[in-house]
Amino acid sequence: MADLTLTNVKKVYANSVEVLRDINLDIKQGEFIVFVGPSGCGKSTLLRMISGLEDISAGTLEIDGQVVNDIPPALRGIAMVFQSYALYPHMSVYDNMAFSLQIAKENKANIDKQVRKAAEMLQLTPYLDRLPKALSGGQRQRVAIGRAIVRRPKVFLFDEPLSNLDAALRVATRMEIAALKEKMPESTMIYVTHDQVEAMTLADRIVLLSNGNIEQVGAPLELYEQPANVFVAKFIGSPAMNILPVTINKVGSQTNLAIDATTSVNLPLQLDKKEEGKKAQLGIRPEDFTMTALHKNDVLISGEIAFVEALGESTLFHVKTELHDELVIAKFPGVWDIQRGDALALAAPAEKLHLFAADGNNYSQ
Amino acid sequence: MLTSSSKKSSLTWLVHLSVFLLVLIWTIPTAGLFVSSIRDKDQLSVSGWWTALASSEQKVVYRTPVPDSQIQEADQYVLKGNLFADSNASVSAFGFSSLKPDAFVVGSTATMKKGKTLTVQANGDYVVTSPVPFTKRGQRIFYTADVPPRFTLDNYREVLGSEGLAKSFINSLTVTIPSTVIPILMAAFAAYALAWMRFPGRALLLVTVVGLLVVPLQMSLIPLLKAYNFIGESFGVGSKTYLGIWLAHTAFGLPLAIYLLRNYIAGLPGEIIESARVDGASDFDIFRKIVLPLSFPALASFSIFQFLWVWNDLLVAMVFLGNNEEQLVLTGRLRELLGSRGGNWEILTASAFITILVPLAVFFALQRFLVRGLLAGSVK
Amino acid sequence: MAQLISALLVMCIGVFGCALYFYGANLLLDYCFPAKQRPYDVIARNLRIRNAIRPWLFIGPAMLALGLYFIYPIIDSVRLSLFDRSGEAFVGFANYQWLFSSTEFFESFKNNMLWLIVVPTLSTFFGLVIATMTDRIWWGNIAKSLIFMPMAISFIGASIIWKFIYDYRSGDDTQIGLLNALVVFFGGEPVAWITVPFWNNFFLMIILVWVQTGFAMVILSAALRGIPEETIEAAVLDGANGIQIFFRIMVPQIWGTIAVVWTTITILVLKVFDIVLAMTNGQWNTQVLANQMFDWMFRGGGDSGRGAVIAIVIMVLVIPIMVWNIRRANAEMEGR
């Protein structure tokens, strides 16, 4: 019922800066989609184009099969929750929630019913007469959501709704939003954030953007386990995936990679003959490393520990290797009695390794 | 440590003292005006207002009433009475001729021509005797008196009544109120458009407004005066109308109003306005229901500015409104009094005080907004 | 009473007429291009039309007013300056020739320059000093309020207040003007202050300084408070004394504001004529451009040519500030 389709959508500003290039995306009714990416990647612009607050420079946006490029926000059947909540400071909570219905000239009884229903759902009933300034951050956030619910939109748009909350409240509100989605399974939600944890925990599908392009679309674990390219690989997961320069030694039923003059590793991956001898990039997540001893032959990487971050539940080792300038990070659960300056040998299971071509794309896709 | 703190405290005292002196210099002129306006006009013209609380020495001429009240005592006809009708001044000297008005001390008896005598007591009681009955005119008595301070609202009564200030007061209000409200309305709409609506030529318009902020009024006067005269003649309505001056004040206030309000409105959080747009509000709805209520501080600041400026204006009123009794505003009236009653300080001070009363009241009541407006208009 | 009622009535008509325009025009626009219960493409078209028209409904009245009361008169003033006293016969640059050969003009020009130097300097100086001092004492706000007060008084009212201070009584009469009373008290001879050529200009300027210092003080006080406390603390730690802190740390940080205050008062000085009109009407060598211009507007039935020329001179003096203002505003808007 509320499918949303973006076809070749572009955004070009007056000074001919391209912020979004050729976006194609299909969103099904009832999906929870998260746009994620570093700041300046165009994710907020994309959301604002869907909302109608920004013009679409080229391409089409369809909601339920209807092209809505020229339709104003209010008639698109969307509702939006802003980063700053954007509550009307001079109106009570009730009036804030009722505003859109009053503008649409709905009858009073109906407005009242909708507002009270939403307030009930969000536990805002005791605060209906208050002004926004008399509410806590989390309550304001709920009013902003309530204001969206009251309109019964086909699509909910969230623009970084949690970034103004402190850490503890952010977790609580995140779960509230997840619960809200459970209660309204039929409505489509599009959520913008720069925080990968929010993206991973909330999304049915993540849309990862960078520099105006979609890097990958997929379920959260799909992005984690099968990143389409180095960018996605490094963006999802914390600490970020280690990327090592390697050379493809031999292709065949397995791919043999030369890590340095003496070390090589076999990957369960079949590659084209023409790839042989090419430079490539090997990705290993810090948490996929296992510890080994220097003399063993499963050693993948070895080096001197540049520094240690003991976090309690886990320990991060930053290892200086001969392979390249960047430190390799390894993450092991628990506390370890290993000091800075000690030598460390690391191994990793072959199936956890990711191989990317020199241009950054994943070989396995 | 000790020297440093004592040095510091002496510096603090210096600051206190300097500020006190400056405040004194800045308030004394107005205080003088106020004190003078409530003094008795005879005292005002012979002594400085700072002596208002001390008694003043006055040289006065008194003429006894027509001699109906004379009584005959033995062979003398006697007139009795008191020099002071309503005050408790004291006489220090008296006389009967203008050549020597203070020839006699109080209590003594002066002998005049034709066997008449005159006695004046310190409290003003006088006795005039004559061997023949008094006829026609009363006897003149010259005396020097120490008059105690006398405060009165007579000056105000006079200027409000016979000097026509009451009428001018209403004229000033008639000019000022619409000249304050209309530009706010016009400027608020324009400011919203300049801040949040997209249309061609917006940047140019904004620059024009900023440029017009400093254009001197003088530049507009002559062409407008000609235009007003032309329109007045063409329609036979006369060129000096309230409508004319409202429009003039409105237009002259607009650049500042638009600039101030635009800065404020552009500073409102964009997400609130976008949120209203998503909620289905048109620009007119957004303006009315969101922007206008939120801009109250800026609207208040500007209205105070404009009110003070219009109320205090002389130039525009003199050019666009008549100088006749019917239309004269307070400032114009003051200027006229300054010409015709230049020496009558009791009239001038009372009139001036009436004129500045309203702006002062507005000023002290709404200073907060005025300061905020000033800051919005110039800083940053 | 009747006047009061009619005044009220006229006021209401004026104000409501204006409000009615905005309300009516917007309603009419929405009525002509409806956006409800129509096909999507019709709605989209109607809304586009609305959005194209509405800004002009909002800004139209203001633009019209600015055009009629500023743009047209500026152009017409230039035209009139080339015509004779009645504005009918073209006389070329005769008015300009007259102006630059008239001693009266040079006197007022000279006086105006004097005003331009003295008034902004003194007002800003006093404003800065008072702002600095009042920020340190507990009754500073009361002091500020009292010094700010003359801002609310009309120039003509201020003139009367000061005329009273400058009042002069000849001979042995008791001086009722404060200034002369002080002079006499200290054993001097009373002086008719506003008739003493050259120096009388300063006595008039004092009035404007008295009025404007409050303005400078309020703005500079806010600027001073905006200075980050850390910079001053850092200077204290670096061993600077109070005067060094003031001139080398605080003043440089508020230069921009000082410039704004300075130019604002400069513009005002160019426009002020009420004080001269009320105090001397240009006698005793106190004429200034604004008063001279007013004079020529009405002298002998009015000479629009000469009046316009003087107005143009005032305008030309303002232009540098106008350019500076526009550039500043532009820079600020790009920063947004």
Cβ atoms of residues B94 and B143 within 8 Å: yes
C107 with C76, same domain: the answer is no
Check residue C330 and give its pLDDT.
81
Q: Is residue A365 part of a domain?
A: no
A203 with A182, same domain: the answer is yes
Q: Does A70 touch chain C (CB under 8 A)?
A: yes
Q: What is the mean pLDDT of chain C?
A: 84
Check residue C123 and give its pLDDT.
93
C35 with C132, same domain: the answer is no
**A66/C44 touch (CB, cutoff 8 Å), yes or no:** no
C243 with C166, same domain: the answer is yes
C197 with C52, same domain: the answer is no
pLDDT-derived band of residue B251, with 50, 70 and 90 as boundaries? very high
C98 with C75, same domain: the answer is no
A34 with A147, same domain: the answer is yes
Looking up residue A273, the CATH number of its domain turns out to be 2.40.50.140
A192 exposed, middle or buried (CB, 10 Å; 0-12, 13-18, 19+)?
buried
Neighboring chain C residues of A70 at a CB cutoff of 8 Å: 41, 44, 47-48
Q: Is residue A364 part of a domain?
A: no
> What pLDDT digit, counting tens, does each position of B94-145 carry?
877 777 777 777 777 777 777 778 787 777 777 888 777 777 667 777 777 7
Architecture of domain B156-378: Orthogonal Bundle (1.10)
A213 with A67, same domain: the answer is yes
Domain chopping of chain B, boundaries? 56-148, 156-378
A266 with A229, same domain: the answer is no
Q: Is residue C87 part of a domain?
A: no
**DSSP string of C1-68, one letter each residue:** -HHHHHHHHHHHHHHHHHHHHHHHHHHHHHHHS--SSS-HHHHHHHHHHHHHHHHHHHHHHHHHHHII
Residues 6+ apart with CB under 8 A from C220: C124, C127, C128, C131, C254, C257, C258, C261
pLDDT-derived band of residue B87, with 50, 70 and 90 as boundaries? low
CB < 8 Å from B in window 98-127 of C: 126
**C137/B19 touch (CB, cutoff 8 Å), yes or no:** yes
Check residue B379 and give its pLDDT.
41
- Mean pLDDT (whole number) for B48-53: 74
Q: Residue C35's closest chain A neighbor by CA? A: A75
From the list A75, A86, A99, which residue is nearest B269 (CB)? Answer: A86
Looking up residue C322, the CATH number of its domain turns out to be 1.10.3720.10
> What pLDDT digit, counting tens, does each position of A330-362 carry?
999 988 888 888 888 888 888 888 888 888 888
Q: What is the mean pLDDT of chain A?
A: 88
C207 with C142, same domain: the answer is yes
pLDDT higher than threshold 50 for residue C85 = yes
**C35/A75 touch (CB, cutoff 8 Å), yes or no:** yes
Task: With CA atoms as reference, report the closest residue to A331 among A271, A361, A289.
Answer: A289
Residues 6+ apart with CB under 8 A from B338: B348, C156, C159, C160, C163, C278
C210 with C248, same domain: the answer is yes
- Mean pLDDT (whole number) for A20-33: 90
Neighboring chain A residues of C35 at a CB cutoff of 8 Å: 72, 75
pLDDT higher than threshold 50 for residue A1 = no
Q: Is residue C49 part of a domain?
A: yes
Task: Report the range of poorest mean pLDDT among A31-40, B265-274, C33-42.
Answer: C33-42
Q: Is residue A68 part of a domain?
A: yes
**Domain membership of residue C67 as a residue range:** 2-80
Check residue B30 and give its pLDDT.
86
A90 with A126, same domain: the answer is yes
> What pLDDT digit, counting tens, does each position of A89-143 carry?
999 999 999 999 998 888 899 999 999 999 988 888 999 999 998 998 888 888 9
> What pLDDT digit, counting tens, does each position of A245-255 carry?
888 888 888 88
From the list B246, B314, B364, which residue is nearest C274 (CB)? Answer: B314
Q: Is residue C88 part of a domain?
A: no
Residue where one domain finishes, among candidates A188, A208, A235: A235
Check residue B86 and give its pLDDT.
60
From the list B170, B216, B338, which residue is nearest C278 (CB)? Answer: B338
Q: Does B371 touch chain C (CB under 8 A)?
A: yes
Check residue B8 and give its pLDDT.
65
**Domain membership of residue A247 as a residue range:** 242-357
Residue where one domain finishes, among candidates C26, C57, C80: C80
Check residue B190 and give its pLDDT.
93
What whole-number distance in Å separates Cα of residue B166 and Cα of residue B159?
Answer: 8
pLDDT-derived band of residue A286, with 50, 70 and 90 as boundaries? very high
Residue where one domain finishes, among candidates C45, C80, C115: C80
pLDDT-derived band of residue B378, with 50, 70 and 90 as boundaries? low
pLDDT higher than threshold 60 for residue C336 = no
A246 with A227, same domain: the answer is no
C126 with C272, same domain: the answer is yes
A70, A103, A105, A106: which to substitute to probe chain C, counting the most C Cβ within 10 Å? A70
Neighboring chain C residues of B167 at a CB cutoff of 8 Å: 3
Residue where one domain finishes, among candidates C18, C50, C80: C80
Neighboring chain A residues of C40 at a CB cutoff of 8 Å: 66, 68, 71, 75
A151 with A283, same domain: the answer is no
Q: Is the peptide bond before A239 cis (omega within 30 degrees of 0)?
A: yes
Neighboring chain A residues of B269 at a CB cutoff of 8 Å: 84, 86
State the ipTM, two decimals. Answer: 0.85
- A179 residue type, one letter: A
C98 with C76, same domain: the answer is no
pLDDT higher than threshold 90 for residue C178 = no
A158 with A277, same domain: the answer is no
Q: E-assigned strands of chain A?
A: 4-12, 18-27, 32-36, 58-63, 66-67, 78-81, 155-159, 188-193, 205-210, 213-218, 242-250, 255-258, 264-267, 279-284, 290-292, 301-310, 314-320, 328-333, 343-347, 354-357
In this structure, how many other beta carbons lie within 10 angstroms of the beta carbon of residue A182? 8
Q: Is residue A363 part of a domain?
A: no
C9 with C135, same domain: the answer is no
Neighboring chain A residues of B197 at a CB cutoff of 8 Å: none
- A362 residue type, one letter: N
Q: Does B341 touch chain A (CB under 8 A)?
A: no
- Mean pLDDT (whole number) for B224-228: 86
Q: Is residue A362 part of a domain?
A: no
Backbone angles phi, psi at A86, to 5 degrees: 50, 40
Q: Does B85 touch chain A (CB under 8 A)?
A: no
Distance between B279 CA and the closest CA of chain A, angstroms: 5
Q: Does C43 touch chain A (CB under 8 A)?
A: yes
Q: Report the number of distinct structural domains present in chain A.
A: 2
Q: Residue B31's closest chain C neighbor by CA? A: C161
Residue where one domain finishes, among candidates A202, A235, A268: A235
C215 with C328, same domain: the answer is yes
- Mean pLDDT (whole number) for A279-304: 87
Q: Quote the longest CA-to-CA distance of chain A.
A: 80
Task: With CA atoms as reference, report the closest residue to A95 among A61, A136, A146.
Answer: A146
Task: With CA atoms as reference, report the closest residue to A227 among A358, A47, A44, A352.
Answer: A352
pLDDT higher than threshold 90 for residue A219 = yes
Residue where one domain finishes, among candidates A195, A216, A235: A235
- 3-state helix, strand, coil split of chain B in percent (to 5) is 60, 15, 25
A312 with A196, same domain: the answer is no
Q: Report the number of distinct structural domains present in chain C.
A: 2
Looking up residue A109, the CATH number of its domain turns out to be 3.40.50.300
Q: Does B230 touch chain C (CB under 8 A)?
A: no
A292 with A323, same domain: the answer is yes
3-state secondary structure A101-170: HHHCCCCHHHHHHHHHHHHHHCCCHHHCCCCHHHCCHHHHHHHHHHHHHHCCCCEEEEECCCCCCCHHHH
Q: Does A81 touch chain B (CB under 8 A)?
A: no
In this structure, how many other beta carbons lie within 10 angstroms of the beta carbon of residue B161? 10
